[in-house]
Amino acid sequence: MFNPANRKSKRYSVHYTPTVSWNQPMALRDTQEPAPPTTQKLEFSAAEIGALAHLYRGEVYRSTAWRTRLDSTTNWAVVTTGIALSATFSSAEASPLPMVLVGLIVSVFLLFEARRYRYFNVWRARARLLETDFYAPMIRGEGIQLGAGWAQLLAKDYCDPRYHISFARAIGRRLRRTYAWIFAIQAVAYYGKLAIHPAPLATLADLWERAAIGPIPGGLVVAAGVLFHGAWAVLALVTYRIEIASRRERRSLIAMG
């Protein structure tokens, strides 16, 4: 028979031993929690690649716009040279002075174009950097190489924009690629004019007489012309050597320059 008095009481208890006491300082409790692992980002997301694509389109547009401005100053130089040639060779008695003056005008156009080229080179360099270090590896199937340093260089160029080349180097580039030919045509046309008009050149004294401009002796005018064209030639050569040295220093990331 069941007797309630003979029932033994059973006690059930749950033992919990905390690993960290809440009485401990906060710094001690924080050290017990494992820190999340930090991983370096190695690739762009789809949204970021799309943004870079739009960025590239914008840089190409700006470089194209500034390229058009470069062509404008070149056209001015060609047109004024053509007008001077027409005036100089219009008759045997025409003066060669227009060829002297057009050389000064074209020099001003060269300075204008060099200034525009420094702006153009900023947009061109950014677009070219994206082509060589972003799109080209992607097309070759190598993936986007973030460790090459091009992304940091491009970001720095946006945060701290500045010209990539000096004014002298910009003059040298436009001089070697375009204006050297214009100056050469002017020089040949000028000395050709002195040699054939109004009659074929017979003596050196005739050359000095034909080259004279008012009270300025002809010898001084010819010497100034040789010095003028020689100075442009020296500038083109010196800046070319600077270009070669700069390319050797950059090695990779050659587009930014």
Q: What is the DSSP letter of 225?
A: H
Q: What is the mean pLDDT of the chain?
A: 84
What is the pTM assigned to this prediction?
A: 0.78
Rounded distance between C-alpha atoms, residue 130 and residue 56, angstroms: 7
* DSSP code, position 179: I
pLDDT tens by residue, 186-195: 999 999 999 9
Count CA within 13 A, CB hemisphere, residue 192: 10
- Predicted confidence at residue 133, as pLDDT, reads 87
Read off the pLDDT band of 149 (50, 70, 90): confident
What lies within 8 Å, CB to CB, of 202 at 6+ separation is none
Bridge partners, residue 244, by sequence: none
Tell me the pLDDT tens digit for each residue of 77-131. 999 999 999 999 999 999 999 999 999 999 999 999 999 999 999 999 999 999 9
